[in-house]
Chain A
């Protein structure tokens, strides 16, 4: 089967998790014997064909005021214009349609499209190729992709610009034949807003991150080590963790905080005041591994609509149970009592109770370790790719009887 993956970014350009997921899928499909090509974006100087780990990648330079990979470095003031141009990019449409007509893939699989714009869907439909889309985040329904205001308040209701943009994208999303998400929650939020009316749906979890080394046995008499690992933004709940520790001064436990972000300063202050708290700054590679190997419990009381919360899977793979908040896709990944516990989002008192309880009960943590590890072992990229192949197969056969987009809209008008 010829599969074309379309993603706004592709390694070596990596801003978030989605790019890595696309690369994993491409590699897995290639392993399974499929012919894989990738369409991505690049600044004009790097545009063109490229090979990454044996996968052919076409990097387009869509006409917009800057490249998607530069977004974090760009001033907020120019971003609305970028998003306006990104509503439907005619250059993407033309280039992509020509590419797909020439290459004739059996299925097109789109991922994050910021920079390419949803014109990628239209181009695929116009080329008559079955289309699978993957939801990696909330970028279709929210301009900031996280459903949070700049102040960190959750957007249960969309704001006006997001609502208008999302209505337009919802209109274009009729071109999608199947939609795939790693968790139920993100899919439901989109279906509620009327996205993907014509599409089959499938929940396909991603593979868990690989573990570099087996966990070392933890010393019995050592206080329970809690770990917060992630970006230190208010909406990730690091403030709740600090508050919960402030409320349990008597508890014999330690807290390791690692990450970077706006709250790094208050984490450092807390570490200065409370000898139980250690602040490590941003960690990666072996340092991060060492933290995960020595930790006992991961705290992940995120306040936002997490899609997966990859750090939880990472913790599970290391045999670390997780205390997390009941929000977004998080509860789908926690088996309460077996692999962790859930608290209400933002509830520092509730988290403090859990911390105090777990700190005194090292025995039950040890019991959970094996359950965590075997749960993480279910998440393999081989399984992800197998399930995606099923989805491709289903849309592929359907497309033989497929009516073109135009016919479909005409029939609706009648």
Chain B
């Protein structure tokens, strides 16, 4: 079936905010990808300039709905979806609405396609007490009302089917991409040149499910035998950041751990390029983009053997049980000391990362939009 080029699609990308991380980047990349495939596209976002120059018109959504404003922003955004976005998509005579995050319009006469990235608040209820009702009532309704639900990974898909009791026929997997323009092997960089400065890199928001405390414990074990450092990128929930910093002090790792704040994509690429290894031992992920980004930069990866991470990493990373500190430490030492293993991971990683592209994501998404329109 040919892709309907004049699908009259509206994209709800209201979630794109000031410093885009996971969800924001996903929305931007998806919109840019779809823009090159579909003709009649209208995008709604609270930060239109983030999309750069694209053919489709980007209409501003209210600034006070940006994710930067936390809970308040979230609340206003959801309200605006029900009123402002609903009115505008209908006025613009759209035929289908694509929600880049699981926030949709509850009463909409046109079909919706909704992307679900993860169900982390449902997997770790004690860490997200406020989001429980939001997920149970709002997200589950949006997903049930959507004609198609798109999950980032097979793992998320299964979670959606089991927790929200949605027909498996309605839920499909479309993997996010990896931006090869930004994340690629640096020509000048000599991966094995700087043996003096061996260090690990952790990329992610500091939230409890990222398992950073166990990573620090593992680092303490590794440091008993080898000199190495850890760079932790990311900010996060203040209470968890405090716990992490306290653990760093208790383990006496002040000299070994460097915290850096939000960095842009180019700097991030340099960080990946310089790191001996990227470690992402998360207890839960919906996808795990840092794994692909690191692989695309030719950086070896250690990651968890649970949740969606094996789907992302394939055979190209060292996998560990994320609850097992000593196994994690063992893997870190292996990568640190085994040059042949690093080379192997580097080659496998480049191949693995090349399998994911935003172009492919956009193509599959446009097919999903077609299907949603066809199913009358």
Chain A residues proximal to chain B, CB less than 8 Å: 24, 27-28, 30-33, 53-54, 207, 210-213, 380-382
Contact = CB atoms under 8 A, between A and B. Distances in A.
Contacts of B323: 210-213
A380 B224 CA distance: 14
**Interface pairs A-B: 4 shortest CB-CB:** A31-B333, A27-B330, A31-B330, A381-B326
Nearest to A386: B224
Given A32-B225, A33-B225, A54-B341, A210 B324 contact: yes
Contacts, number: 43
Interface string B325-345: 111011001100110010000
Contacts of B327: 27
Interface in B327-365: 327, 329-330, 333-334, 337-338, 341
Nearest to B221: A382
Q: Is the interface of A mostly helix, strand, loop or mixed?
A: loop
Chain B contact residues, majority secondary structure: helix
Given A27-B327, A28-B330, A30-B333, A210 B225 contact: no
Contacts of A32: 224-225
Interface of B: 221-222, 224-226, 321, 323-327, 329-330, 333-334, 337-338, 341
A31 B220 CA distance: 12
Contact of A28 (B326, B334, B337): B326
A381 B328 CA distance: 12
B123 to A, nearest CB: 11
21 contacts: A27-B326, A27-B327, A28-B326, A31-B221, A31-B222, A31-B326, A31-B330, A31-B333, A32-B224, A33-B226, A33-B333, A33-B337, A54-B330, A54-B334, A210-B324, A210-B326, A211-B323, A212-B323, A213-B323, A380-B326, A382-B326
A54 B324 contact: no
Given A31-B333, A32-B225, A24 B338 contact: no
Given A27-B326, A30-B334, 16 more contacts: A27-B327, A28-B326, A30-B330, A30-B333, A31-B225, A31-B326, A31-B329, A33-B333, A33-B337, A53-B330, A53-B334, A207-B326, A211-B323, A212-B323, A380-B326, A382-B326
A140 B323 CA distance: 35
Contacts of A30: 330, 333-334
Contacts of A28: 326, 330
Interface centre among B326, B327, B329, B341 (most CB of A within 10 A): B326
A250 to B, nearest CB: 36
Contacts of B321: 210
A212 B330 CA distance: 18
Contacts of A27: 326-327, 330
Contacts of A53: 330, 334
A27 to B, nearest CB: 4
A212 B322 CA distance: 9
